[in-house]
Amino acid sequence: MQHSRVDYDWKSYPLTTATGYEIIMFRITPKVEVLPSRGPLLMTHGMFSEASDFFTRTDDTALAWPIQLAEMGFDVWIGCTRGRSLTEGHATLNKAIPAEM
């Protein structure tokens, strides 16, 4: 298995959108300075996937894509959009109570 030159950590940032949906942003951070930053990079998953899918690999010898990008010097952020297992909340709506028409 290919190993990273440094260890990485992550932090989650819960956010509420202007429309009340509760989403999460994740930031991948090296535990030590790797390279001068090449700037922020936002990764967002597709309609039927989740943020964790970026870490699923078919080649166990390769680093996950977000880690490869972090090793290149990018400040990697991963957005987890609404309606995923981690982001089903809403500030005022309750999905257990049907909306009245």
- 93: in domain: no
Is the residue at 61 inside a domain?
Answer: yes
Query: Does residue 31 fall inside a structural domain?
Result: yes
Give the Cα separation of 98 and 101 in Å (integer).
Answer: 9
Please write the tens of the pLDDT for every residue from 12-34.
999 999 999 888 999 998 877 76
Q: How confident is the model at residue 11 (pLDDT cuts 50, 70, 90)?
A: very high
Structural domain for 20, as ranges: 8-80
Question: Residue 1 — very low, low, confident or very high, per pLDDT cuts 50/70/90?
Answer: very low
pLDDT at 54: 84
Q: Given pLDDT bands bounded at 50, 70 and 90, which one contains residue 4? A: low
Cβ proximity of 71 and 65 under 8 Å: no
Going across the sheet that includes 8-16, the strands are 8-16, 22-30, 75-80, 40-44
Domain assignment present for 15: yes
pLDDT tens-digit readout, 46-64: 888 888 888 887 888 888 8
91 lies in a domain?
no
For 16, 24, 53, 84, the CA distances from 13, given in Å and listed in that order, are 10, 6, 18, 15
CA distance 82 to 47: 10
Residue 56 located in a structural domain: yes
CB 82 within 8 Å of CB 95: no
Q: With DSSP H G I counted as helix, E B as strand and the rest as coil, what are the percentages for the chain, rounded to 5?
A: 10, 30, 55
Q: Is residue 98 situated within a structural domain? A: no
Q: What pLDDT score was predicted for residue 5?
A: 62
Q: How many domains does the chain have?
A: 1
